[in-house]
Amino acid sequence: MKVLNYGSLNVDYVYSLDHIVQGGETILSSKMEVFCGGKGLNQSIALARAGVPVYHAGLVGEEGSILLDACRESGVDTSYVRQLDCKGGHTIIQVDAKGQNCIILYGGTNQMQTKEYIDEVLSNFGKDDFLILQNEVNLLDYIIDRGHDRGMKIVLNPSPFDEKLMACDLSKVYLFLLNEIEGEQFTGFSDVDQILTALAGKFPEARFVLTLGSEGALYYDGKEKIFQDIFPVKAVDTTAAGDTFTGFFIAALLEGTSIKEALRFAARASAIAVSRPGAAPSIPCIEEVKRALSLPK
Ligand code: RIB
């Protein structure tokens, strides 16, 4: 069984501010840092740091070498990633004094996937291999269809939520990991129980992890509901907290741990990521998470 994460790679330009800038307002940022990010890259790095051999696929641009280096340094196999001679994906991220963020996303090469490239990558994978996806690349509908044709188990983090997702046959998704805002956008409900019931009604073959920010996370598979509280930390930067949760949750499932334990493991890893600045650099490694949970090495 192999794990392929097909997704975005971004250079994140992160500006520290007292508060998120309002319409018409100009404020001076106290700090500007550049980090490796992108939901795809972050999740691949989280999987790799959690001990999973993971392949990444996607397209980087002219400035992509630092993204590839970051993946490789963490143990992600980048042999399927291609570099194009044009602008890659990047973000402008504002982080306020409470560690909350807001993000402007420029797609660049992340929005230049072709059917030929997708077919070529997926031809290396087959039945019961895992295909991890987010919504920061174009042709997501095609990737889902072809991955499903090959018998792959599709895990989707439908973020950022937009109308393109509605063009996808989401009945092919095995596991959804989403936050409560995305849950509301999918179902029209803001109440957590109603979101989960509606999701299970729409996608009866799937299972769901709904992350609730400071309120924890819930797993639901249409029958069993399991709650996981957060591990309280001083929030420095919430960027990549969800990606860290995703990577460590999937890693624990692949190890064969129970859902309850997988949620706990993911929540602990995510809390560590929140306590540090940046996207990819904030993601802990497995030893650190085990230590924090007092688990044997
Ligand atoms: O999930 C966090 C990521 O979202 C950031 O690293 C940024 O690149 C955006 O894609």
What is the tens place of the pLDDT at every residue in 41-89?
999 999 999 999 999 999 999 999 999 999 999 999 999 999 999 999 9
Closest ligand 1 atom to residue 38 Cα is 8
Instruction: Please tell me the distance from the alpha carbon of residue 294 to that of residue 291, in angstroms, as a whole number.
Output: 5
Ligand 1 centroid, distance to 248 Cα (angstroms) = 17
Average per-residue pLDDT in the chain? 96
Instruction: Please tell me the distance from the alpha carbon of residue 82 to that of residue 101, in angstroms, as a whole number.
Output: 30
β-partners of residue 131 are: 4, 154
Ligand 1 centroid, distance to 42 Cα (angstroms) = 8
Ligand 1 centroid, distance to 233 Cα (angstroms) = 21
Ligand 1 centroid, distance to 296 Cα (angstroms) = 32
Instruction: Please tell me the distance from the alpha carbon of residue 233 to that of residue 6, in angstroms, as a whole number.
Output: 31
Least confident of 140-144, 237-241, 249-253: 237-241
pLDDT of residue 104: 96
What CATH class does 3-7+39-57+113-294 carry? alpha beta
Q: How confident is the model at residue 219 (pLDDT cuts 50, 70, 90)?
A: very high
Which residue's alpha carbon is at the smallest distance from atom 6 of ligand 1? 37
Which residue's alpha carbon is at the smallest distance from atom 2 of ligand 1? 240
- Contacts (Cβ under 8 Å, ≥6 apart) of 89: 8, 9, 10, 11, 38, 60, 61, 105, 106, 107, 108, 109, 110, 111, 136
Ligand 1 centroid, distance to 251 Cα (angstroms) = 20
Closest ligand 1 atom to residue 36 Cα is 6
Residue 239 Cβ contacting ligand 1 at under 6 Å: yes
pLDDT of residue 287: 96
Closest ligand 1 atom to residue 93 Cα is 7
pLDDT(295) > 90: no
pLDDT(142) > 90: yes
Mean pLDDT across the stretch 182-191? 96
pTM, full prediction:
0.96
Instruction: Please tell me the distance from the alpha carbon of residue 231 to that of residue 57, in angstroms, as a whole number.
Output: 32
- Angle (CA) 230-234-236 rounded to 5° is 110
For the beta sheet containing 10-16, the strands, ordered from the edge strand earlier in sequence to the opposite edge, are 31-37, 10-16, 89-95, 101-106
Q: How confident is the model at residue 297 (pLDDT cuts 50, 70, 90)?
A: confident
CA 242 to chain centroid, in Å, comes to: 6
β-partners of residue 156 are: 133, 176
CA-CA-CA-CA torsion for 145, 149, 150, 151, nearest 10 degrees?
100
pLDDT of residue 293: 94
Q: How confident is the model at residue 154 (pLDDT cuts 50, 70, 90)?
A: very high
